[in-house]
A = this chain, B = another copy of it.
């Protein structure tokens, strides 16, 4: 069933309805009456004739109709019976507020399983339990008991906040409201026994009023729903910002004790969100920081920023912030510079950043003279106005009007940085997003520009399923390289030698020499046991090292399964390409710097299959060793295509090749190609 009925019900029944508008069973009724709910409200309470001036009913069957949705504000003990009854009568959705279910004990988890069963069988969707409720201020359907809507009264608006946690649904709501920004949705789904945050988000982004969706996630069990939400959001041009907590090990432990979240390597979440164009916020403030910019309908053409300020210090600080947040300082054309120079005093700076100086005090029209010149310059995509000092003698109403005229004429995004509340208020009246500092203003602009670009390039797609991530059987190196080679990855010439003679014969086929290694899946870390001997060029060397390896294997009490001889590879850079199955997100591929650095000095990126060659190229470019793929000090660039092919091979092994983990380390990369010098596979038993 669609969740639309939960957001826009024609009628709402309230089990446990209370006359007291401060009680859990009373507050939703009060909110709906106060905030324009246009449907019918049916309080249910056998002890009362009326509730908050509405007719009160003794039970569900006494209502004049089957309600679209029901708020279940009764004690925990009566929740399951009430749900069963609602499902039987054809109610389309319920919100369960009581806590004490899956978050507490096994009996609670069994109840939640039954909720899912009821939903699957009857189509009645259940929000909660342990839910603070859903609040759609755009329809007035406020099925929520949050006190925050008393503290910071709601008004319909373009932002939706969705969270499991009650606190983290109303915290961004409250912060936005304190900044004067309207919020249209504020939902807290609780334990997500049936309806999840992600599924609800996929419904909410369809609301034509919604222009920005803010999510707080502690668990992410249904990436397919979040991917659906992202797809719909992209179609509608609605950006999604998500705060996924539990990034740190301590945070994961705290989340596990809070919600029983399953641990997924956090960087997999990064990769998933990026792929679906969802911006990941690092903290609560970052959820709301740039919100206003998303509401303007701006489509920045690029990241080249102009700065106009009445303070040279602000110009310098803003240039630093532009660098810090990865924007670019626009370069004016000679014509623009000349025109700016003509309207400014001699000692002012006409280049970007433009310091119009304290001359603003004697000519309040300076912004109005400079801004059109900046607007006309095709090399300027975005603008920051900085007014660090103002007050008496400064006509900041006029500055705000001149800035608003710039926006109207050129459609280029503009933000203000001004520490004084009075200045910000004037610009806010003209709809210009305002920040206390240049750092905050530039950070917001950078997020906005980067997020829209990320959405535009988001590959999206339906996520692969999670799967088995341990318990596989380890293959030996020879077999592992066979599997890798079967997927088109280049591997060295090699053979398993049972005798010294075989190894010496093999040497004859390898003009560059050979490497000998113990061949046993029981010894995954061969080099730490001294079981890898490289650069052997004579039959004598081969013979001696063969003997030593065999003796060492015997010493380790591992069955001798021969010695792997392989041709020596020429020079190249040691990379790593590998992957594993994540329990939630399925196949995950890693590419990066290899050799000794892999664990101690990690430099790698994760990719979610299927990925394109372009995605691999940009992941490689983003590595610390990225310059090696562009060529360093006259050396030829490493071959990115060969790394892509290896990564694609690893992905295929994980997606349908029976592998649960793959580790090619090192993959020796040169400008010509890349060869797997060692590989280790775990496969499904």
Chain A interface (Cβ < 8 Å from any Cβ of B):
22, 100, 103-104, 146-148, 150-151, 163, 165-168, 170-171, 174-175, 178, 216, 218, 243, 245-251, 253-255, 257-259, 282-286, 311-317, 319-324, 329, 347, 349, 351, 353, 355, 388-389, 391-393, 419-422, 436-440, 527-528, 596, 599-601, 624-625, 627-628, 632-635
User: Provided the pairs A248-B320, A388-B167 are in contact, do residues A315 and B175 lie with their beta carbons within 8 angstroms?
Assistant: no
A351 partner residues in chain B, CB cutoff 8 A: 257
Q: List 12 A-B contacts (CB under 8 A).
A: A100-B347, A165-B313, A167-B313, A167-B389, A168-B388, A249-B323, A250-B319, A251-B317, A258-B313, A283-B321, A284-B436, A285-B439
Q: How far, in Å, is A101 (CB) from chain B's closest CB?
A: 11
Q: How far, in Å, is A113 (CB) from chain B's closest CB?
A: 20
The 9 closest A-B pairs by CB, nearest first: A248-B323, A283-B439, A258-B312, A165-B313, A167-B311, A251-B320, A600-B627, A250-B319, A251-B319
Q: A250-B323, A251-B323 are in contact. List 5 more A-B contacts (CB 8 A).
A: A168-B388, A245-B320, A248-B323, A254-B353, A283-B439
Of the listed residues A104, A243, A321, A634, the one surrounded by the most CB atoms of chain B closer than 10 A to its CB is A321
- Of the candidates B178, B251, B596, the one whose C-beta lies within 8 Å of that of A633 is B596
- Considering the complex, give the chain B residue whose CB is closest to the CB of A393: B147
On whether the beta carbons of B312 and A355 are closer than 8 Å, the reply is no
- Considering the complex, give the chain B residue whose CB is closest to the CB of A173: B419
- Of the candidates B166, B257, B353, the one whose C-beta lies within 8 Å of that of A349 is B257
- Considering the complex, give the chain B residue whose CB is closest to the CB of A357: B99
- Considering the complex, give the chain B residue whose CB is closest to the CB of A422: B151
Q: How far is the CA of A247 from the CA of B146 in the complex (A)?
A: 46
On whether the beta carbons of A254 and B439 are closer than 8 Å, the reply is no
User: Provided the pairs A147-B391, A178-B421 are in contact, do residues A250 and B282 lie with their beta carbons within 8 angstroms?
Assistant: no
Q: How far is the CA of A419 from the CA of B167 in the complex (A)?
A: 11
A175 partner residues in chain B, CB cutoff 8 A: 419, 436
- Considering the complex, give the chain B residue whose CB is closest to the CB of A573: B596
Q: How far, in Å, is A80 (CB) from chain B's closest CB?
A: 19
A628 partner residues in chain B, CB cutoff 8 A: 600
- Considering the complex, give the chain B residue whose CB is closest to the CB of A353: B254
Q: How far, in Å, is A26 (CB) from chain B's closest CB?
A: 13
Q: How far is the CA of A216 from the CA of B311 in the complex (A)?
A: 14
Give the number of times this chain occurs in the complex, counting copies.
Answer: 2
Q: How far, in Å, is A457 (CB) from chain B's closest CB?
A: 26
Q: How far, in Å, is A613 (CB) from chain B's closest CB?
A: 23
On whether the beta carbons of B320 and A439 are closer than 8 Å, the reply is no
Q: How far is the CA of A189 from the CA of B171 in the complex (A)?
A: 43
- Considering the complex, give the chain B residue whose CB is closest to the CB of A165: B313
On whether the beta carbons of A316 and B393 are closer than 8 Å, the reply is no
Q: How far is the CA of A251 from the CA of B322 in the complex (A)?
A: 9
User: Provided the pairs A165-B312, A389-B148 are in contact, do residues A438 and B319 lie with their beta carbons within 8 angstroms?
Assistant: no
A635 partner residues in chain B, CB cutoff 8 A: 596
- Of the candidates B170, B389, B440, the one whose C-beta lies within 8 Å of that of A389 is B170
User: Provided the pairs A257-B349, A632-B600, A633-B596 are in contact, do residues A389 and B147 lie with their beta carbons within 8 angstroms?
Assistant: yes
Q: How far, in Å, is A534 (CB) from chain B's closest CB?
A: 12
Of the listed residues A258, A324, A438, A624, the one surrounded by the most CB atoms of chain B closer than 10 A to its CB is A258
A313 partner residues in chain B, CB cutoff 8 A: 163, 165, 167-168, 216, 218, 245, 258
User: Provided the pairs A355-B258, A391-B147 are in contact, do residues A284 and B324 lie with their beta carbons within 8 angstroms?
Assistant: no
- Of the candidates B171, B243, B440, the one whose C-beta lies within 8 Å of that of A419 is B171
On whether the beta carbons of B634 and A528 are closer than 8 Å, the reply is yes
Q: How far, in Å, is A667 (CB) from chain B's closest CB?
A: 18
A314 partner residues in chain B, CB cutoff 8 A: 167
On whether the beta carbons of A258 and B147 are closer than 8 Å, the reply is no
Q: How far is the CA of A391 from the CA of B286 in the complex (A)?
A: 24
A438 partner residues in chain B, CB cutoff 8 A: 283-284
User: Provided the pairs A436-B175, A438-B283, A601-B624 are in contact, do residues A391 and B316 lie with their beta carbons within 8 angstroms?
Assistant: no
A355 partner residues in chain B, CB cutoff 8 A: 258
Q: How far is the CA of A259 from the CA of B319 in the complex (A)?
A: 15
Q: How far is the CA of A250 from the CA of B527 in the complex (A)?
A: 48
On whether the beta carbons of B147 and A322 are closer than 8 Å, the reply is no
User: Provided the pairs A248-B319, A317-B245, A601-B624 are in contact, do residues A311 and B165 lie with their beta carbons within 8 angstroms?
Assistant: yes
On whether the beta carbons of A282 and B528 are closer than 8 Å, the reply is no
A282 partner residues in chain B, CB cutoff 8 A: 324, 439
A388 partner residues in chain B, CB cutoff 8 A: 167-168, 170-171
- Considering the complex, give the chain B residue whose CB is closest to the CB of A525: B633
- Of the candidates B254, B317, B419, the one whose C-beta lies within 8 Å of that of A315 is B254
- Considering the complex, give the chain B residue whose CB is closest to the CB of A598: B633
Of the listed residues A148, A254, A259, the one surrounded by the most CB atoms of chain B closer than 10 A to its CB is A254
On whether the beta carbons of B320 and A150 are closer than 8 Å, the reply is no
Q: How far, in Å, is A617 (CB) from chain B's closest CB?
A: 18
Of the listed residues A167, A168, A258, the one surrounded by the most CB atoms of chain B closer than 10 A to its CB is A167
